[in-house]
Amino acid sequence: MTLKLDINPIKAWMPNIDNPLLISGPCSLETEEQTMETARLLAKDKRVFVFRGGVWKPRTRPGSFEGVGSIGLKWLQQVREETGFPVGTEVANAQHTEEALKAGLDVLWIGARSTASPFVVQEIADVLKGTDTVVMIKNPVNPDVQLWMGAVERIYQAGIKNIVGIHRGFTPFRETKYRNYPNWKTFIELKRLLPNLPVICDPSHIAGTREYLFEISQKAFDMGMEGLMIESHRDPSCALSDAGQQLTPADLGKMLDKLVIRYENASNPEFDNQLDVLRNRIDAIDAELLEILASRVQIVKQIGEYKRDNNVTALQISRWTQLMENRVKLGKSMDVNETFVKILFQLIHEDSVRMQTEIMDQE
């Protein structure tokens, strides 16, 4: 069910922004110098709007760098004073949230591991009550859209209207190209359920390595996401966490130069007219497709009755194998994607068998 929550657009709390919202900064704040130097370099690029820096780091296993803790909040304040950047960090419990609010941070985000725990999200929401902080909510580690949506609702119910979703990918259950696989359909489903929620992408945690950042960022814009959170470090090779996926601010700038930014509307009447013409054609073709499917259903039913009257099974494997081979070949000759044809005819055939067994059971 679609929920029309009264969530603010990004422009409501960042009026001087021309989309997209770009957030950047180190995975972890390590020293005052590393924080300030990275921020100074980022401030040279007017496309960066918010400075991020992890202070309390959720590490999968103990023993790795767990962040500098509260001292990092002071460095974030310094960044804001010197560069004018709004600043943000990840909070993972009530105490982090209290400290971050006390330090006057502009943006707080809830990490993927925390979004997966409703108790943690509620604990954070309870502390946020009565503030007008900007809260960003990463997807949970598993592609459970309800859990992601639930976290948004908990924060919203605490009276927060400045909310942004962050798509950072999902833990893979086998070796994949990316560190966290981007299940784009979970993002699409979240937008369907919460149309007012602005969503940005975190290509750094999806990619896990620098080489994939561009393709994921471009895909995010192609899909209509409203910004990016990209990790950057003055010297990524020395980073204490996520060294392989961080960019120098200069390389971030080069990547931004290459990205094509897309908008939901072109604000160009000629484009809108042409789009309407093409969409009308698609509507007509879809109606034809459905008519063709309806006539196929009639024949499937006739065959079902015929099989029933002659005590023949609904499913004939050899016919099914032959049909699939033929359709894939035919599809290929018309330049229709093979996987698509397979999935489509699996569905069509499955439904035909269902209809025919129903006819047989009516006997």
Sites of contact with ligand PEP (CB under 6 A): 27, 54, 58, 90, 111-112, 138, 168, 202, 205
Given candidates 242, 341, 345, 352, which one binds Mn ion under the rule CB under 5 A?
242
12-31 positions binding Mn ion, by CB under 5 A: 27
* Cβ proximity to Mn ion, 226 vs 242, nearer residue: 242
Residue nearest to ligand PEP (CB): 111
CB of 349 closer than 8 Å to CB of 320: yes
CB of 225 closer than 8 Å to CB of 187: yes
* Cβ proximity to Mn ion, 90 vs 99, nearer residue: 90
* Cβ proximity to ligand PEP, 191 vs 205, nearer residue: 205
Residue 155 CB, nearest approach to ligand PEP (Å): 16
Closest CA to 101 of 131, 138, 70, 68: 131
Which option in Mn ion, ligand PEP, none does residue 20 bind, with CB closer than 5 to 8 A by kind? none
Enumerate long-range contacts of 114-120, CB under 8 Å, 24 or more apart: 114/58, 115/139, 115/140, 115/147, 115/148, 115/151, 116/140, 116/141, 116/142, 116/144, 116/147, 118/147, 118/150, 118/151, 118/154, 120/92, 120/93
Residue 317 CB, nearest approach to Mn ion (Å): 50
Residue 58 CB, nearest approach to ligand PEP (Å): 6
Residue 179 CB, nearest approach to ligand PEP (Å): 9
* Cβ proximity to ligand PEP, 96 vs 138, nearer residue: 138
Residue 90 CB, nearest approach to ligand PEP (Å): 6
- Beta partners for residue 137, in sequence order: 110, 165
Question: Could you list the residues that contact Mn ion (CB under 5 A)?
Answer: 27, 242
